[in-house]
Amino acid sequence: MKIPKITIILIAFLAVSSYLPAQTQDKQPLPSSLSLKQAQEYALKNNTSVKNAGIDVELAKKKIWETTAIGLPQINATANYQHLFKVPEMSLGGTTFLDTKLPAGTMLTAGDILNENVFMGFTPMEPIKLGVKDNTTLDITVSQLVFSGEYIVGLQATRVYYQISDRSQKKTEIDLQESVANTYSLVLVLQQNKKFLSQSLENMQKTLAELQAMNKQGFIENTDVDQIELTTLNLTNGIKAIDRQIEASNYLLKFQIGMPLDNQVTLTDNLETIAETNNLETLSAKKFDVNNNIDYKILSTQEAFGRLNLKREQSTYLPSLAAVYQHSEKVNKPEFDFAPRDVLALSMSIPIFSSGQRNSKVQQRKLELQQITNTKENVGNGLQLEYTNARNDLSTAYEKYLNEKKNIELTERIYQKTLVKLKEGLSSSLDLTNSQNQYITAQVNYFNALYSLITAKNKLSKLTNTL
């Protein structure tokens, strides 16, 4: 039976379709909308700095095993081929004998030797070869570090080094979360400003149309119309400027979270929700424990690493002991071979005198440790001061936010009253422009205050490890 051509096409399409997901299953689709939490989670997976910090952690893990392996058995095999152009020989002489022409049993005399009836002979022995012309030797060596103070301390240091890498990764993540939260909020602030200015422009265009109609009827002067038209143009230019700022801020946000810049994404959270994520009073009242701060944790780990560095230098005064076992096999053995097949050896290195070099290194590590300790104490005091300032900044930002919120209501009422008076001929267009500018300024100040409140909250949350 002949299979229809369309059936063949469908079968091929289904085969290709079933194959494609296997090729692209690792590539996740880009999100089209993001909340702040989703943006932070996306950043933790895709930001280059976080990825590199994760690689540093993996490198630290490999470093731990590299150092650990130094104290574990080491097995090495070597193969050597040797060709001798001339094999050395050793001769052991030969045997001396007497030969005679006389009948057997005849007594020999000195005259027989003189008459050459008897003569002496010498038979040399075959020389002994002291090697072989072509030979291959296989050696297997097993070595084991028995004791080394420097190794023991080095093993401890690798684990502290891993802690430094791990905490550095956490710091990178915390810093990134703060930056993403601030940039995300900045984009929302700009979008809100644009929305407000667009609404103001729309209202002003309606007012301009009404005033132009009143001007044609002679109720108001041309100057009033021109003044409102100028305000309209300024609002239009302001919106264009904000558009450019929104574009740049969106690019910055996508760069921070590791998203392609050409991907279109919508931010779903709003400023008020972000500001009220944590109770501000609870956050301000939270007791600050410097030991929970990531920067202080990193310095504490560096201090521990400095102590181990000092301990490692001090351990160089101790002897080290190693054991070595070697087994050799020769493919072609010479007749006389005095080389042993199996050898077990112990090697001890005892430091005796270094002209003060070891002591100098120990003193350097002590001074470096003192520097780290001083830095740690200074940073601890600085963090306490930074926390106090951050808490005060949060309180100030919250008070400013509340004031600016009230200012919006006041300036809006003033603007509406001025607009009514202008239409009634009781005020000028300049008065309307001034009230409009006051209203716009109050609105911009409100969003800026809200942004300052969010950034102050993020800073305090970062310090208290509650971000």
Element (H, E) at 17: helix 5-24
pLDDT score recorded for residue 109: 61
Per the model's pLDDT, the better-predicted residue between 99 and 217 turns out to be 217
E strand or H helix at 208, and its extent? Answer: helix 149-216
Backbone conformation region of residue 465, classed left if phi is above 0, alpha if psi is from -120 to 50, else beta: left
Q: Strand runs (DSSP E) across 101-258, as ranges? A: 118-124, 128-129, 134-147
Confidence of residue 224 (pLDDT cuts 50, 70, 90): confident
Listed ranges 21-35, 83-97, 289-303; the one with the highest mean pLDDT:
289-303
pLDDT tens, residue by residue, 397-435? 999 999 998 998 899 899 889 888 877 778 777 888 888
Residue 188 has pLDDT above 70, yes or no: yes
Cα→Cα distances 142→71, 181, 321, 327, 418, Å: 12, 57, 15, 9, 96
Which pair of structure tokens corresponds to residue 393?
Answer: 């900044």
Report yes or no: 185 and 271 within 8 Å, Cβ to Cβ: yes
**DSSP E strand boundaries for 281-339:** 320-330
Q: What is the mean pLDDT of residues 221-235?
A: 86
pLDDT digits (tens, 9 = 90+) for 442-466: 998 999 999 999 999 999 989 988 8
Question: Token pair 């932070």 is at which residue?
Answer: 40
What percent of the chain clears pLDDT 70, i.e. is strictly above it?
Answer: 86
Has residue 259 got a pLDDT over 60? yes
Q: Check whether 128 has a pLDDT greater than 70.
A: yes
Indicate if the pLDDT at residue 7 is higher than 60.
no
Quick check: 14 pLDDT over 50?
no
Is the per-residue pLDDT at 356 higher than 70?
yes
CA distance 113 to 118: 5
CA–CA distance, 434 with 459 (Å, rounded to integer)? 37
* Cα angle for residues 260, 264, 265 (degrees, 5° grid): 100
Q: What local confidence, expressed as pLDDT, does residue 23 receive?
A: 39
Is the pLDDT score of 290 beyond 70? yes
Residue 383 pLDDT > 50: yes
Q: Is the pLDDT of residue 18 over 60?
A: no
Q: Give the lowest-confidence range in 108-117, 260-269, 297-306, 354-363.
A: 108-117
Comparing 366 with 228, which gets the higher pLDDT?
366
For residue 339, give the 3-state DSSP assignment. Answer: coil
Residues 41/31, Cβ–Cβ less than 8 Å: no
Is residue 293 scored above 70 in pLDDT?
Answer: yes
Q: What is the pLDDT of residues 87-116, one digit of tens each?
A: 887 776 666 555 566 566 566 565 555 555
Instruction: Identify the structural domains of the chain with CATH numbers, from first to last.
Output: 31-76+147-318+358-463 (1.20.1600.10)
Tell me what the mean pLDDT of segment 2-6 comes to.
39
pLDDT at 3 over 60: no
More confident residue, 338 or 384: 384
pLDDT, position 45: 94
Say if residue 391's pLDDT is above 70.
Answer: yes
Global model pTM greater than 0.85: no
The predicted structure's pLDDT at residue 65:
93
pLDDT in tens, 146-176: 999 999 999 999 999 999 999 999 999 999 9
Of the chain, the percentage scoring pLDDT greater than 90 comes to 55
Q: Is the pLDDT of residue 319 over 70?
A: yes
The least confident of 56-70, 102-116, 345-359, 364-378 is 102-116
- The pLDDT of residue 111 is 59
Higher pLDDT, 406 or 14: 406
Mean pLDDT over 115-137 rounds to: 71
The pLDDT value recorded for residue 419 is 82
According to DSSP, residue 103 is labeled P
CA–CA separation, 462 and 467 (whole Å): 5
Helices (H), 29-136: 36-46, 48-70, 110-114
